[in-house]
Amino acid sequence: MRHYDVFNGDADGICALHQLRLAAPRESVLVTGVKRDIALLEHVAAQPGDTVTVLDVSLDRNRAALLRLLGRGVAVEYFDHHFAGAIPAHPALVAHIDTAAGACTSSIVDRHLGGRHRLWAIVAAFGDNLARTGRALARACGLARQQADILRELGQAINYNAYGATEADLLMRPADLYRALAPFASPFDFVVTHDAPRRIAEARRRDLALARAARPLRDGPAGSVTALPEAAWARRVQGEFANELAARERERAHALLCERADGWRVSVRAPVARPVGADALCRQFAGGGRVAAAGIDLLPRGRLPEFIEAFERAFAAGSAQAGR
């Protein structure tokens, strides 16, 4: 009998899995990828009697593969905070789903484990751009501000590493990054012992400097739409720069487009002050995500004007209220 750990390659997915395996170590087949590779259950070749743990990928986007696994006699435990749709009622499925705006998969796992490895949940929350959640968990642990800042920087580095079109764009394969931190019960020990956090953080700073030089395609009351070129650095920095814009201009929404041969890859951030609507907007264009942050794998080039109009409609009401 084999066990499969299926997880998003970003900070939330990696830290969620790390918490679980610190609490309950087990040998497993790792199934992961870049942040946008969320149809991960398609890659799981589990057989009757095998077990699967899924972390931080949308149940709705993996529904068909999940139902196939369940029908094959595979037991699945599912932790996630993205839009799930109807959760299948099946005796072999245990689902821990919380789509609240302040939730991340690692905070769900933290709750499941009673806070046993909460430092890693703090890393994940900061990495997932949930600063309020990260600060609340840090206060619960009694951390000093300097300690919380170290975990914030680590979360941002791990999360940054997951952005790219393929693993060739990344500084480290997510499975390798997970294996690098797996021996460390404390993220503070990981930071001072391993060189991965420093190398990733340095690359992140270089890429952000390039992104900050870009000028928006559209910049209005509802928010900004900015395009980046077809380049590895742009594919890496897209989500991180979207998070930076969201933190800098909390009353407005932001869309970051990264050019690809057949169109655009899109990251959307709802206003931090009103963190809703990103998922609904992206689902109009075959994308998905969570209410505060979502994305589109492929926006055809000819649909860009339609997307900009839909973006402005989605967030115009909130911008009008903020101006009163």
Residue 163, domain CATH: 3.90.1640
- Do 57 and 98 sit in the same domain of this protein? yes
- Do 197 and 217 sit in the same domain of this protein? no
Q: Is residue 245 part of a domain?
A: yes
Query: Stretch 37-54: mean pLDDT, rounded?
Result: 96
Q: What is the pTM of this model?
A: 0.81
* Mean of per-residue pLDDT scores for the chain: 95
- Do 76 and 186 sit in the same domain of this protein? yes
pLDDT at 32: 98
CB-neighbour burial class of residue 309 (10 A; exposed 0-12, middle 13-18, buried 19+):
exposed
- Do 106 and 221 sit in the same domain of this protein? no
Query: Stretch 99-128: mean pLDDT, rounded?
Result: 96
- Do 177 and 251 sit in the same domain of this protein? no
- Do 165 and 85 sit in the same domain of this protein? yes
- Do 75 and 176 sit in the same domain of this protein? yes
- Do 157 and 298 sit in the same domain of this protein? no
Range of the domain at 102: 3-202
- Do 198 and 122 sit in the same domain of this protein? yes
- Do 198 and 218 sit in the same domain of this protein? no
- Do 253 and 188 sit in the same domain of this protein? no
pLDDT at 239: 83
Among candidate residues 145, 172, 202, the one where a domain is terminated: 202
**pLDDT tens digit sequence for 175-231:** 999 999 999 999 999 999 999 999 999 999 999 999 999 999 999 999 999 999 999
pLDDT at 320: 52
pLDDT at 51: 98
- Transcribe 219-279 into DSSP letters: E-SSEEEEEE-SSHHHHHHHHHHHHHHHHHSTTSEEEEEEEETTEEEEEEE--TTS--SHH
